[in-house]
Amino acid sequence: MRELLPQIDGWVNNHDRIAIATVIQTWGSSPRGVGAKMAMTLDGKIAGSVSGGCVEGAVFEAGVQSLKTDKPQYLHFGVADETAWHVGLACGGQVDVFVQPLDEQVFRQIRQRLAARQGFATATVVDGPEELLGWELLLTKDDLKTRVRTNDPRDTLYEITSQVLLEGRSKLVNIQLGPGKESRIFVEVVAPPARLVMVGGVHTSIILAQLATLLGFETVVIDPRRAFGNLERFGHVDRLIQAWPEDAFPQVEVHDNTAIAVLTHDPKIDDPALIYALKSKAFYVGALGSAHTQARRRERLLAAGITPEQLARLHGPIGLPLGGQTPEEIALAILAEIVAVRHEEKTGETVGIRV
């Protein structure tokens, strides 16, 4: 949804009627993953994609129909269907898509959470009793602390959404909402934006921040040295903290969608940063330096109380071995490794280079 905000905002301000299509389940070689979205209006405007072009025409027609009838639709496309070739899904995959008119109240809640860089989950009834079809619920982790339970059957929806939010992965769930009422809900988990914390206002960090921004990362630079960590060099980052790592990191929420790259070559800055980072929830911790530098660094970190298990999380030398030498090439190698590790964390599969 994040990438569609500018278009949807404009349509809402123009009082357009809007439908949203969401991929809720895939099999095989589906072009887009679960959670991919496409927005459309009655007068033919389209944003986003649910299939990279394969089934967009059929989904658009369904969206227009949903807007005219004010009823959601559950769509299935697959190579086994007689309509597969007609709609263009000839790549061997299958995809389920749920189409519904945009609920502007829920959209405002989503927009607020995205603007606040919060993680959250939305649950949508995609199959079941007509009176509940399309009903939506939004939860953040803060809501889990304050929610008051009642005897409303929809509390079942809340409980399932809470579990999936804590698990951290979107899924389609079969549930029973009340006696004899079988339903399916799609729970979509939206993580906070990936965050890249760069320790050291070096030239590589300037390029790395630019590349990371293109990929949607929130960027933070930490450096106590005003000659390096200043706004003239880093006016393009989301946040610049001119402090030593031990003072700077408590000002940054390091969550499990955070990567930390330590880049100064100065042990007075690098070592305290790594001690904090290796004990944190960050999914990636990397440090610049040669194999010899890394060996001496590891000895110092162990002596400082870092455990062998924590030290094993350190990527050093940092970055994929692309053979680059320039700051631009080094930044590319670092970001490539961060992206690879991030996807490995999500899927549990080792991610390699594809050519």
Q: Are residues 256 and 244 in the same domain?
A: yes
354 part of a folded domain: no
- Phi then psi for residue 173, to 5 deg, are -125, 135
184 part of a folded domain: yes
| For residue 79, pLDDT beyond 70 | no
Residues in the chain: 355
- Phi then psi for residue 48, to 5 deg, are 85, -175
Q: Are residues 118 and 226 in the same domain?
A: no
* Residues of the domain holding 112: 105-190
3-state secondary structure of 48: strand
Q: What is the mean pLDDT of residues 332-355?
A: 68
141 part of a folded domain: yes
Q: Are residues 122 and 56 in the same domain?
A: no
353 part of a folded domain: no
Spatial strand order of the sheet with 195-199 comes to: 239-241, 218-222, 195-199, 258-262, 284-287, 314-315
Residue 303 carries which side chain, given as an amino acid letter? A
Q: Buried b vs exposed e over 250-267: b needs ≥16 C-beta within 10 Å? A: eebebeebbbbbbbbeee
pLDDT confidence bin for 88, thresholds 50/70/90: very low
355 part of a folded domain: no
Q: Are residues 134 and 239 in the same domain?
A: no
- What torsion do the CA atoms of 231, 233, 235, 240 make, to the nearest 10 degrees? -60
Q: Are residues 209 and 163 in the same domain?
A: no
pLDDT at 298: 95
Which residues, 6 or more positions from 39, have their beta carbon under 8 angstroms from its beta carbon? 4, 7, 8, 11, 18, 19, 20, 21, 46, 47, 48, 102
**Among residues 190, 222, 250, which one ends one of the domains?**
190
Token digits of residue 334: 């670092």
pLDDT one-digit tens code per residue, 298-330: 999 999 999 999 999 999 999 999 888 899 999
**Among residues 161, 190, 219, which one ends one of the domains?**
190
| For residue 350, pLDDT beyond 50 | no
**pTM of the full structure:** 0.69
Total domain count, the chain: 3
207 part of a folded domain: yes
Q: Are residues 89 and 119 in the same domain?
A: no
Q: Are residues 79 and 211 in the same domain?
A: no
Rg (alpha carbons) of the chain, rounded to whole number = 23
pLDDT at 354: 25
Please tell me the distance from the alpha carbon of residue 51 to that of residue 235, in angstroms, as a whole number.
37
The CATH number assigned to the domain holding 328 equals 3.40.50.720
164 part of a folded domain: yes
pLDDT at 348: 45
14 part of a folded domain: yes
Q: Are 199 and 261 spatial neighbours (Cβ–Cβ below 8 Å)?
A: yes
Q: Lowest-confidence range among 48-52, 131-135, 209-213, 219-223?
A: 48-52
Q: Are residues 153 and 28 in the same domain?
A: no
| For residue 148, pLDDT beyond 60 | no
Q: Are residues 219 and 304 in the same domain?
A: yes
**Among residues 140, 170, 190, which one ends one of the domains?**
190
Q: Are residues 122 and 238 in the same domain?
A: no
Q: Are residues 216 and 319 in the same domain?
A: yes
Q: Are residues 97 and 132 in the same domain?
A: no
